[in-house]
Chain A
Amino acid sequence: MKKVAIIGSGVIGAMIARELSRYELEVTVFEKESDVAMGATRANSAIVHAGFDAKEGSMKAKMNVAGSFMMEQVCSELGVKYVRNGSLVIGFNDEDRAELERLCARGKSNGVEGLRVIEKTELKALEPNISDNATCALHAPTGAIVCPYELCIASIGNAMDNGVKLILDFEVASIERTEKGFVLSSGDGRRAMADYVINAAGIYSDKIAKMTGDNSFEVHPRRGEYVLLDRECGSTVSHTIFRTPSKMGKGILVTPTVDGNLLTGPTSVDMEDKEDKSTTAQGLAKLMGEACENIEGGVAYGKTITSFCGLRAVGNTGDFIINEKAGFVNAAGIESPGLSSAPAIALYVRELLENAGLELISKKTFNPIREPKHRFREASIEEKNEIIARDPAYGRIICRCETISEGEILDAIRSNPPARDIDGVKRRTRAGMGRCQGGFCGPYVMELIAKERGIEFEKVTKAGGNSTMVIGKTK
C-alpha cells in the first residue's frame, strides 16, 4: 500500500487526512505539537466566509466558495456544530457603500448566492443592536460559523477511525528524497518513510518546502488577537458583523460562536517570530475600541472570558499556495479564508495526488460518520437518562460552568484523537472554558487524565511539553 505523510494536523492537514482515509492508503499525520489543532486552527475567527472577499479567479475565491458550499454536509457527517447565521458587512458612509457594492459584484462573480446591499431600516431589523451610525450593509445569507478546532479534531478523529495514524510530538527536521521515496526525520532521531508528502505545516510550511529544495515561497506569521465573551453576551448579534474593508485592513469583526459566546477580533500585525503567540495591551485595547464602534452602546467587555492570540500563515504570493511536484504537495499560505476553504482544499489535494500518479482505490469499510461529541449535551432528558443508566459517569458533572459530565471528559480522553492534557480536554468538551476558566474543575480533570493515561498527577500538563500544573507533592 502506498504511504502518504501529511505534515501538520491543523484543519487543512486534518481535512486532507480524512479525504485520503476514503482510500486504500497508509496515511500518517506528523504533528510537532502534543495535540492537533494547535496552530492557526486553534485561534481564528471561526467563520465560514461566503466568498465575496477574495479576488475573482484566485485560488482563494475558488476554494472559499466551493468549501463554503461543502461545509454544512461535512459538519453534519462529522457531528460538528455548524450554524448558517449569515454575515453582514456594515458601512458607515458613502465611501463604504461604494466598496460594499463592489464586494457584492465581486461575490456574485465568484458564485456567492443571495448577496444584497441592504439599507439602514432592514439592517436594524436584522440586528437591533447594531450601531445607529451604520447606514447600510452587505448581507451574505450563506455566511456561517463553525468551531475550527472542533472541525479539525472531528476530522482527524474520523480519519483515525478509518485507519489514519497520528504521530504527535514529531517535528520534521529534514526530508530526504531517496529512490524508495521520502524519508522524514524528526529532531530526536525518529524516521519515517513515505511515497507522497503533503505539506500542511501552517506558518512553518515554507521551512518544510525548503527541506525538499522548494524555495518558491515564504510564509510569515500575522498576529491576530481576540477577546471572547461570556455566553450571556452571545445574543448581542446573530449575524457575523464585519466592517467594510479599507486600506487599514478588514477591521474587527463581532460574531456569535456556535457555542453561544461572543467573539471579537482579530487585530492584524505582521510578525517575524513564528512562536510569539502573546497578546499585547495595545492590540487588545485597539480591538475592543473598534468592536465597540459597531455595536450601539458598545460590547460588554466586562463579561470577558479570555483573550488569546493566533498566528495566521500569510504567504508572499497573495494567494493560497497549493501545488505538487514529484510527489510533494504544498498546501501552504492558507490564511483567511482557509477554514472556509478547507473541505475544497482537501479535494483539490486529492486531485493533485491522483494526477501525480497515486492510485486511489476506495476503502469498502470507510465510514464518513463520526458520532457528534455534543450529542449528550443536546439530548432530551429521556435520552440522557438512558445514557446515564448505561454509564453513570454521564450523570456526574465535573465542569459546573458548562455542565460537562465525567462521561464526556472520559470519552474525549479515550476517543480519537485522544485528549492528553487539560487544554486538549477543554477544546474537546468545553470543560474549563466557562466563567471560572477551570478554577473548580481543573484538579478533577487532572485526576481523570492521570488515571486514564496511567501517569502520575504531577505529570499532567496544561498543553504538553513543559507546561506542568504542579511541581510535586507538598510533603
Chain B
Amino acid sequence: MADNTKTRELTCIVCPRGCNLTVKYEGKNVLSVEGNICPRGEKYAEDEVICPRRTVTSTVKTEDGGVVAVKTRETIEKEKMFECMEKINSVVASLPVKIGDVILSDVCGTDIIATQNRG
C-alpha cells in the first residue's frame, strides 16, 4: 500500500511561545499534530497545511491626510494578503474613527476594522 502521508515541521504563530509543531497529513486530511501545548496550535497546524490564514494589519488614509490603524476582523487566506492590501490602500476613512468601526466590509471574506481611535 502506497503511503501518501506527508510530514511538515511548523513554528506556531498563534502566540509568542512559538511551539514547534509536527503535522502529519494526507492530501487535505490532517492525521496528527504534535508539539502544541494548546488547542489553538492544533487548529493553526491544520489550517497551515491545508489553507494557511493570516491576520493583516495596516493603516488606511484618513480624510485629514493622516492614517489610522486597521486590521482584518478575522484571518484571511495567506495568498490574499496583497489583494487585501490593495483594498486597504484604496479607501479613505472619514473621521472620527473609533476602535472596532468597520472601515471596509467584505474584504477577502471579512471586514477591515479600525484598531485606533482618531479624531
Contacts and interface: CB of A to CB of B under 8 A. Distances in A.
B61 interface: yes
Interface string B54-92: 000001110000010000000000000000000001000
Interface in B14-71: 59-61, 67
Interface in A440-475: 474-475
Contacts of A475: 59-61, 67, 89
A474 B89 CA distance: 9
A475 B103 CA distance: 15
A474 B62 CA distance: 12
A475 B67 CA distance: 9
Contacts of A474: 59, 67
Contacts of B61: 475
Contacts of B67: 474-475
A475 B61 CA distance: 7
Interface residues of B, number: 5
Interface size on A, as a range, is: under 10
A474 B59 CA distance: 9
A65 to B, nearest CB: 59
B62 to A, nearest CB: 10
A474 B67 CA distance: 9
A210 B67 CA distance: 55
A345 to B, nearest CB: 51
A474 B88 CA distance: 11
A443 to B, nearest CB: 13
Contacts of B60: 475
B96 to A, nearest CB: 19
B86 to A, nearest CB: 11
A120 to B, nearest CB: 57
B89 to A, nearest CB: 5
A189 to B, nearest CB: 37
Contacts of B59: 474-475
B107 to A, nearest CB: 15
A474 B61 CA distance: 9
A475 B70 CA distance: 14
A475 B89 CA distance: 6
Nearest to B59: A474
A474 B60 CA distance: 9
A210 to B, nearest CB: 51
A420 to B, nearest CB: 24
Nearest to B89: A475
A450 to B, nearest CB: 13
Interface string B82-116: 00000001000000000000000000000000000
A337 B59 CA distance: 54
A475 B60 CA distance: 8
A446 to B, nearest CB: 15
A475 B59 CA distance: 9
A252 to B, nearest CB: 46
B21 to A, nearest CB: 34
Nearest to B85: A475
A457 to B, nearest CB: 10
B14 to A, nearest CB: 28
A271 to B, nearest CB: 45
A136 to B, nearest CB: 59
Nearest to B66: A473
A474 B66 CA distance: 10
Nearest to B88: A475
Nearest to B90: A475
Contacts of B89: 475
Nearest to B65: A473
A206 to B, nearest CB: 50
A339 B10 CA distance: 62
A474 B65 CA distance: 11
A92 to B, nearest CB: 54
A73 B61 CA distance: 56
Nearest to B61: A475
Interface of B: 59-61, 67, 89
The 7 closest A-B pairs by CB, nearest first: A475-B89, A475-B61, A474-B59, A474-B67, A475-B67, A475-B60, A475-B59
7 contacts: A474-B59, A474-B67, A475-B59, A475-B60, A475-B61, A475-B67, A475-B89
